[in-house]
Amino acid sequence: MVMNIFTATNVYSTVTGHPFINIPVWIWVSLLIAGLLFMPFFAYHRIRTKLNDILKVVPNIELYGSPYVDARPIYSYPSTKVAGQFSVIGTPFFAHIIFCNNPRVRSIETTAKSINAKITFFDDEEKQVLGPIFGRWEGTPQPATLPPFAPIRDLLKIDLEPTGLPRELDIALKYPDDEFCYAFNNKSCISSRDWRMPAFMLKGHSFYIKVRLVGIPMLDETWWFKLSNLGKGDGLKIETSPPIVKG
């Protein structure tokens, strides 16, 4: 900005023939006012340009459609689906949330990497009852299929390519003949044969769920949902919800 003022004064001296030191005060005042008026604009332009540069390499994780519930059979292992070599343990209801990555610029740089989900459950009085626990992502191996003593750490994180393709996150399960529902993740699959982990039991009819996704680069976002237990003889309902607590 200072260089622009000196440039303007040099032009004035050249055109009028007046030496630099004889420039009228009103010229200096006008230049000062112009500088003060345009300085915020130049600052805004530089900030906006820098922000756009950042957004070009930042993923944009968003919900893909609405959360939903379905019923899926659980098989004993090995579940080769060859006659006589597997059996159905049960067909509980599962609640799922779907995410996708829709960045402004689709490139390798906007791939969301090492995303893990931290899930916290609150009762209808907004009291925390479980969590945070790490969520289970669709498409990751079930812990029971891993070699003995293999860690499940790598099952907790996924990459989301910048293509907008959906990826499910499992939230909870409920058997129709059960009064209660259960939070569900990788630990559920190895805690009991029917995946009902006692420590994950959710007693009540409605729960608020906080889902926090953390990943690379610069990913730390939170969504809220409401899970309803429809009672014995029925399943689950899940939907989006406004936040109930800060954080």
Residue 28 to residue 17: CA distance in whole angstroms: 17
Per-residue pLDDT at 127: 94
In the chain, at which residue ranges do the beta strands (DSSP E only) sit?
61-63, 68-71, 74-75, 88-90, 93-101, 112-123, 128-134, 136-137, 157-160, 167-174, 181-183, 201-202, 206-216, 219-229, 236-240
One domain for residues 6 and 105: no
139 and 214 in a common domain: yes
Helix, strand, or coil (residue 142): coil
Residues of 27-41 as b/e, b for ≥16 C-beta within 10 angstroms?
eeeebeeeeeeeeee
Task: Please give the pLDDT value at position 3.
Answer: 45
Both 16 and 87 in one domain: the answer is no
Predicted confidence at residue 104, as pLDDT, reads 87
pLDDT digits (tens, 9 = 90+) for 33-79: 777 776 776 656 566 655 555 555 789 999 999 999 999 999 876 54
Our count of domains for the chain comes to: 2
Distance of CA 173 to the CA centre of its chain: 22
Same domain for 21 and 69, yes or no, is no
Q: What is the mean pLDDT of each run of 10 residues along the chain (247 residues)?
A: 49 53 65 71 60 66 96 75 69 98 89 96 94 94 77 87 95 97 94 93 96 93 97 96 78
- The Cβ of residue 168 has, within 10 Å, a number of other Cβ atoms equal to 18
Do residues 187 and 81 both lie within one domain?
A: yes
Q: Is residue 179 part of a domain?
A: yes
In the DSSP assignment, the letter for residue 180 is -
* 6 and 120 both lie in a single domain: no
* DSSP calls for 69-102: EEE--EE-SS----TTS--EEE--EEEEEEEEE-
Q: Specify the pLDDT at position 189.
A: 87
pTM across the whole model:
0.75
My answer on whether 49 and 147 are in the same domain is no
Inside any domain, residue 245: no
pLDDT of residue 130: 97
**Are residues 139 and 234 located together in one domain of the fold?**
yes
Q: Which residues pair with 223 in a beta bridge?
A: 211
Does one domain contain both 176 and 89? Answer: yes
> Does 246 map to a domain?
no
Domain of residue 45 covers 2-55
| 201 contacts: CB under 8 Å, gap ≥ 6 | 180, 182
